[in-house]
Structure 1
Amino acid sequence: MPPDDRDLSPCTGWTRDHWAALADRLLTSARKYASPSHARISFPGPPGGYGADVDGLEGFARTFLAAGFRVAGEGGHDPLGLMEWYAEGIAAGTDPRSPERWVRLEEHGQAKVEAASIALVLHLTRPWLWDRLDAPVRERVVDYLAGAIGAEYPPINWLWFQIVVEQFLASVGGPFSPEDIDSALEVTDGFARRDGWYRDGAERSYDHYAGWALHFYPLLWAEMAAGDPRAESRRPAYLLRLERYLDDALHLVGGDGSPLMQGRSLTYRFAAAAQFWAGARHLPGLSPGLLRRAASGIARHFTDRGSPDGDGVLTLGWHHEWRPIAQSYSGPGSPYWASKGLYGLALPADHPVWTAVEEPLPVERGDFHRVVSAPGWLVAGTRADGVVRVVNHGTDHSLPGTHLTDAPLYARLGYSTATSPILAGEHAGRPLDQSVVLLGPGDEPSHRTGFETLRAGALLTGTTAGASRWRAHWVTPDAGQPDHGSGYSGAVRLGPWIEVVSAVRGPWEARLIRLSAPAGEECGPLRVGGWPVPAPHPDWTAADSPADGAATARGTVWSRVVGGPGLEASGVVSAGDGTPLAPWTLVPWCATPGPARPDRWYTALIHLGGEEPGGAPVVTWDGPGRARVAWPDGVTDVVETP
């Protein structure tokens, strides 16, 4: 890497040269794993769930994104010969007689995803690649991409793959279906929600796909389709949504550059930077120094911690290789969708995003509290430790009333930039961290998915408050279900209703809990799990009495749970190899010593911070349904329960 430039980039030290060096390292390292004609790039590791042929196509298409951004931003200057190298791969990949031929769109659905990357780069680099391909190769490319026409695409972000491919075909005089594009646009229009957010399909699926897919493609498509009334009529709305969304997205980046550890496909890592480059490309009114600081912070977060690895490879993992982070569709080439995070390189060196001085992130400027309404998130950032926390009352990758198992990356009550939900081991499928559960026979914890969002808003003091309720349920999952990041279905046993109200201020959450059950029905013990702390060893701070309802875990950050009356049992669970952040994860918890009582409000205080927690908030009740919370900073709030 070049030396840091702290004059231009006082926060990260990174300039365009650093981004170019990262791209070049990824691209030159990838060549070692290419087939003879470069049509397939098969990175080391066991084949993915879709097989080696798909893996090789993914490796080509996703690194091709990086190559395309690199050359487009240089106006065709190409000292690494990227366009010629990938042109050879295109010629072989589209040749049905070649042993390196690509999996066709008609043969496997994943090819529909990769085809969009190929089409997008061919568009961005048209003078230096497409226009120089031999006519027979261009014909084969058109034939290959034409598999998108009339094909079925799931009604999620995948519809943008069909739109991009068919729009490229239209631009080069190939076959395409206006009806396909119209239909897909109509469905994706329906994804829009409040404050510029998109949900990924019909379910409450809010995650990084909002930025690296659902905001990334629309404005690029509008560029491809410039002059088309469909694009021109939608472009203003796309711009307004992106601008509003980015205001939230900037508040979800930690001071250390970590993205929020929530949602599927986290192994794409710095793809989360793509949304900020999209803002720089399409919204000249936004601060370019702030956008670059966010993007560079995300990339440097990973490069400083071992990703890519010593061979220049992006493995399945987070900071390092950690295969449990993969979903069933992930293969060794999948992590290279991180190339989307290199989108800024498509902007020339004299663009303001590269010449402006970096500006600090919201969490670096001061403490903040924020309500993100669409996903039902209460967001709190603290400047002292750079941690951003989300308390979740609106996202579970499902629909209200469903009774699935909890997906750890969606249905937990809290996510942050300093912690990861437990994703492997016994507690991945048996909710512990950031949970409120009833314990059934064998201490089996209940699940939350299918909850109802009751509210998410801010009080006059700036404290945020939210609430949700759900039917406690236990699920015996059916065998053989693929892992696409959502919960599993199976045989269900229903239990009492659980209602949770959260008030969030700084590093603390006051969590109010009530159970509802028919008269005479006994509830099991109630357990409240706190933040999961990454730690190098399976020990914890033991300053709490086991019987006082408080438990503290100390790792890279501090996590504390303080149980109110009735929640006198407490402890800390040590989970080995449960997250990609550290060898151990420590989770403090509190619980009722015996069966919980229906129609009683229980209180738990939940803390996450970089320093040892001081005095906890104090909760008193003015009457039924009216709690008074005295916070450590001297502010007092009255929280009305639903």
Structure 2
Amino acid sequence: MATISGFTDNHFQSRADFVRAAEALLKPLLKYTSPGSARIRFRPANAALFDDVAAQLEGFARPLWAISGLMRSGTGDNLDMSTWLRGLETGTDPTHPEYWGDLKAHDQRMVEMESIAFLLLTAPDAVVPQLNTTAQQSLAGWLRQINKHDMPQNNWLWFRVFVNLALVRALGVPRDEVQPVLDDAFERLDSYKVDGPEAEGWSTDGAWTDFTKQADYYSGSFAIQFAQLLYVSIADGSIDEEAKRAARFREEAKAFSAQYWRYFDANGAAIPFGRSLTYRFAMSAFWAAAAVAGVELAEPVSNLGTVKGMLLRHLRWWAAQPDIFSQDGILSIGFSYPNLYMSEEYNSPQSVYWCLKSFNVM
């Protein structure tokens, strides 16, 4: 058991509490950061189905779900934000030893591009001016690779959406260049919607077939509903198609919330089911994203204070589970205690920090 000051003693009542918790979760990572700041690798290591450079990229990129809010607000004084800015430079520089590598089909690097895109979309003024022209071009060139390779036809399509929006809005890529890619991604994502009166805003994580039937937290807090709410929060209302799509996503979030609140106990604990339970408090990311997007949800979670309560009670429950941490403050693979049975073949030691999606509210 490891008591982590700032998290396990956190009452989660205010934004200041979120900042303190983020710092507590992120500071232990720094001693595992590479000299060029582009990679984070924990010890002892275990293998995932993808290469170790991609796993080390996970370690760098997944904290950006929290770092973005700290950069945007100018808080997080106990963390050196230049670490992540330097990592963006070295990781996307093909001549640097810590280059994250070129993409190939179904590459894990595509997943980690989502949080980088989120950083660029939500905190561009804190990032882009800090990168010189060469670094900006290298970053754009590395991100552009997501359009050149096949990817799994599921929630990964959202990573392509956010990357292309970031390329346009933060890095100066012409909209016309990426519009066909966006149109194709949205057409495929729309085909995953569950139809009928019992749909309740759900999507499946990919096509529903005799061989693939997937609907779990990825369809909600981990990926699809979460991504739709992020889109609502960044949609450009002056672009008709974005405004219409955002309006539809608001309605789907409202329908989804009418039942999703039942997945959470009064003490904040959530039902453990489906894949990737080692992502832990990512289960509450839907509530965080809903608050950021300012969507009107269904009863009994129609009040913003109730949404805040859903998120904070969940985090308080996790704060009362000190066995999720190793002695050096790193989150382990597992659920309420270290347990490799809770992992999948795509979980590296760094993967667990997808839990920081619930910190996008900062």
TM bucket normalised to smaller: 0.7 to 0.9
Matches within 5 A, 1:551-590: none
Residue-by-residue CA offset, 1:297-321 (whole Å, 9 max, x unaligned): 2222222112334322111111121
Match of residue 50 from structure 2: 50
In the alignment, the residues of structure 2 paired with residue 3 and residue 212 of structure 1 have an alpha-carbon distance, to the nearest angstrom, of: 21
Instruction: Give TM-score scaled by structure 1 length.
Output: 0.50
Worse-matched range after superposition: 49-58 or 24-33: 49-58
TM-superposed CA distance for 1:118, in Å, is: 0.7
Match of residue 181 from structure 1: 182
State whether structure 2 residue 353 is matched by structure 1 residue 336: yes
Residue-by-residue CA offset, 1:522-555 (whole Å, 9 max, x unaligned): xxxxxxxxxxxxxxxxxxxxxxxxxxxxxxxxxx
Distance 1:92 1:13, change over 3 A: closer
State whether structure 2 residue 81 is matched by structure 1 residue 70: no
State whether structure 2 residue 317 is matched by structure 1 residue 316: no
Residue-by-residue CA offset, 1:33-88 (whole Å, 9 max, x unaligned): 1000110011222232323211100000101222112332x2x3452354311011
Match of residue 213 from structure 1: 223
For 2:192, give the aligned amino acid: F
Match of residue 117 from structure 1: 115
State whether structure 2 residue 266 is matched by structure 1 residue 260: no
TM-superposed CA distance for 1:336, in Å, is: 0.5
Q: Answer yes or no: is the 8 Å Cα contact 1:273–1:295 preserved in 2.
A: yes
Q: Answer yes or no: is the 8 Å Cα contact 2:231–2:246 preserved in 1.
A: no
Worse-matched range after superposition: 132-141 or 146-155: 146-155
- Which of 194, 199, 202 is 2:204 aligned to? 199
- Which of 132, 148, 151 is 2:149 aligned to? 151
In the alignment, the residues of structure 2 paired with residue 108 and residue 201 of structure 1 have an alpha-carbon distance, to the nearest angstrom, of: 14
- Which of 296, 301, 306 is 2:317 aligned to? 301
- Which of 129, 132, 137 is 1:131 aligned to? 129
In the alignment, the residues of structure 2 paired with residue 103 and residue 25 of structure 1 have an alpha-carbon distance, to the nearest angstrom, of: 30
In the alignment, the residues of structure 2 paired with residue 243 and residue 267 of structure 1 have an alpha-carbon distance, to the nearest angstrom, of: 27
In the alignment, the residues of structure 2 paired with residue 53 and residue 169 of structure 1 have an alpha-carbon distance, to the nearest angstrom, of: 23
State whether structure 2 residue 102 is matched by structure 1 residue 93: no
Identity of aligned residues (%): 28
TM-superposed CA distance for 1:282, in Å, is: 2.1
Q: Answer yes or no: is the 8 Å Cα contact 2:232–2:293 preserved in 1.
A: no
TM-superposed CA distance for 1:243, in Å, is: 1.4
State whether structure 2 residue 288 is matched by structure 1 residue 272: no
State whether structure 2 residue 258 is matched by structure 1 residue 242: no
Match of residue 38 from structure 1: 37
Matches within 5 A, 1:625-640: none
In the alignment, the residues of structure 1 paired with residue 49 and residue 321 of structure 2 have an alpha-carbon distance, to the nearest angstrom, of: 27
TM-superposed CA distance for 1:287, in Å, is: 1.4
Q: Answer yes or no: is the 8 Å Cα contact 2:7–2:21 preserved in 1.
A: no
Unaligned 5+ runs, structure 2: 297-301
Q: SS of 1:329's equivalent?
A: coil
Matches within 5 A, 1:588-603: none
TM-superposed CA distance for 1:195, in Å, is: 1.6
Q: SS of 1:320's equivalent?
A: coil
In the alignment, the residues of structure 1 paired with residue 314 and residue 325 of structure 2 have an alpha-carbon distance, to the nearest angstrom, of: 13
Q: SS of 2:61's equivalent?
A: helix
Q: SS of 1:212's equivalent?
A: coil
In the alignment, the residues of structure 1 paired with residue 92 and residue 108 of structure 2 have an alpha-carbon distance, to the nearest angstrom, of: 16
In the alignment, the residues of structure 2 paired with residue 96 and residue 108 of structure 1 have an alpha-carbon distance, to the nearest angstrom, of: 20
Residue-by-residue CA offset, 1:112-147 (whole Å, 9 max, x unaligned): 110111111122111111122111100100000010
Matches within 5 A, 1:280-295: 280-283=291-294, 285=296, 286-295=302-311
In the alignment, the residues of structure 2 paired with residue 119 and residue 92 of structure 1 have an alpha-carbon distance, to the nearest angstrom, of: 17
Q: How many residues align?
A: 338
Q: Answer yes or no: is the 8 Å Cα contact 1:29–1:312 preserved in 2.
A: yes
Distance 1:276 1:334, change over 3 A: same
In the alignment, the residues of structure 1 paired with residue 341 and residue 351 of structure 2 have an alpha-carbon distance, to the nearest angstrom, of: 14
TM-superposed CA distance for 1:3, in Å, is: 11
Q: Which runs of 4+ in 1 moved over 4 A?
A: 1-5
Unaligned 5+ runs, structure 1: 346-642
TM-superposed CA distance for 1:4, in Å, is: 11
Q: SS of 1:183's equivalent?
A: helix
Q: Answer yes or no: is the 8 Å Cα contact 1:192–1:199 preserved in 2.
A: yes
TM-superposed CA distance for 1:160, in Å, is: 0.3
Q: Answer yes or no: is the 8 Å Cα contact 1:33–1:42 preserved in 2.
A: yes
Q: Answer yes or no: is the 8 Å Cα contact 2:279–2:352 preserved in 1.
A: yes
In the alignment, the residues of structure 1 paired with residue 117 and residue 339 of structure 2 have an alpha-carbon distance, to the nearest angstrom, of: 31
Q: SS of 2:57's equivalent?
A: helix
Which of the two has higher C-alpha Rg? 1
Instruction: Give TM-score scaled by structure 2 length.
Output: 0.87
In the alignment, the residues of structure 1 paired with residue 78 and residue 25 of structure 2 have an alpha-carbon distance, to the nearest angstrom, of: 12
For 2:228, give the aligned amino acid: P
More strand by share: 1
Q: Answer yes or no: is the 8 Å Cα contact 2:155–2:223 preserved in 1.
A: yes
TM-superposed CA distance for 1:111, in Å, is: 0.4
Q: Answer yes or no: is the 8 Å Cα contact 1:219–1:282 preserved in 2.
A: yes
For 1:123, give the aligned amino acid: L
Distance 1:191 1:311, change over 3 A: same
Q: SS of 1:211's equivalent?
A: coil
Q: Answer yes or no: is the 8 Å Cα contact 1:167–1:224 preserved in 2.
A: no
TM-superposed CA distance for 1:342, in Å, is: 1.0
> What's the C-alpha RMSD, in Å, of the aligned pairs?
2.2
Residue-by-residue CA offset, 1:546-599 (whole Å, 9 max, x unaligned): xxxxxxxxxxxxxxxxxxxxxxxxxxxxxxxxxxxxxxxxxxxxxxxxxxxxxx
Matches within 5 A, 1:387-398: none
Match of residue 535 from structure 1: none
In the alignment, the residues of structure 1 paired with residue 290 and residue 164 of structure 2 have an alpha-carbon distance, to the nearest angstrom, of: 25
Q: Answer yes or no: is the 8 Å Cα contact 1:4–1:13 preserved in 2.
A: no
